[in-house]
Amino acid sequence: MSHGDTTFTISDTPGLDLTDSSALSKSIIDVAHRQLERSSLIVLILENPAPAPFDYEMMNIIRKLSKPVIVAVNKMDNDEDMRNIAHFYEMGLDEIIPISALRRRNIRLLLDKITEQLTKKGTPAGEPDIRIAIVGRPNSGKSTLLNAFIGYERSVVSDVPGTTRDSVDEDFHFQGKLIRLTDTAGLRRRSRVDEDIEFYSVTRTMEAITRADTVIHLI
């Protein structure tokens, strides 16, 4: 996306649960950690009304990466919520941006901070030369193919159908071209799409297909 004169790529990591010992959760955490290591900037989203023990643990992990970090507290929907911001300064943070993603409160301020940090660090990657969307039914191997293209595990791979619930973008260079691969959520027949979150996933997949220069359909 672009903000002002700066163009950058945002990677939305899966929701992390450090207390879940399942193999799938461990795989998600490993993928997220590798994505953090490759990022130029980390935006940590905390949740109103107060930090949880998990948030302190996550902050310690991020600090060890020695990356620039912006901390935002979401669900600050009104003035009463804003009073809770003091709880988050107990984490030893110098600056916190209160936001409401739902009401778009302070989103421009957050984007200003992101571009400011990226400008300090250097010019971020520009728009890709080629966009490729990988589509197919749930569990057809889309995430495995994306990982094979880029050479490491970016998308979580599991035997559980529907592990990828949102589109995942990844850039890589090939023969001098910047290529953006999009691993989409699995598509099913319209009559079987019965969950709101799955309807959203299908919508994002269709958007990825529309933007793509080439579509790889796995059968």
Reported for 108-113, long-range contacts at CB under 8 A and 24+ positions apart, including other chains, are 110/43, 110/70, 110/72, 111/3, 112/3, 112/4, 113/70
Span 93-144, pLDDT tens digits:
999 999 999 999 999 999 999 999 988 866 455 678 999 999 998 888 998 9
As assigned by CATH, the class of the 2-121 domain is: alpha beta
Q: Measured between alpha carbons, how far apart are the two ends of the chain, in Å?
A: 31
Where along the chain do its domains lie?
2-121, 130-218
How many other CB atoms are found less than 10 A from the CB of residue 160? 10
pLDDT for 33: 82
How far apart CA 168 and CA 191 sit, in angstroms, is: 25
Q: Give 76-85 pLDDT, tens digit per residue.
A: 999 999 999 9
Q: Give, in words, the CATH class of 130-218.
A: alpha beta
* CB-CB contact of 74 with 99 (8 Å): yes
Those residues of the chain that have pLDDT short of 50 are: 123, 159-163, 193
Fold match, 2-121 / 130-218: yes
Task: Pick the closest to residue 2 from 135, 156, 125 (CA basis).
Answer: 125
User: What does the pLDDT read at residue 130?
Assistant: 94
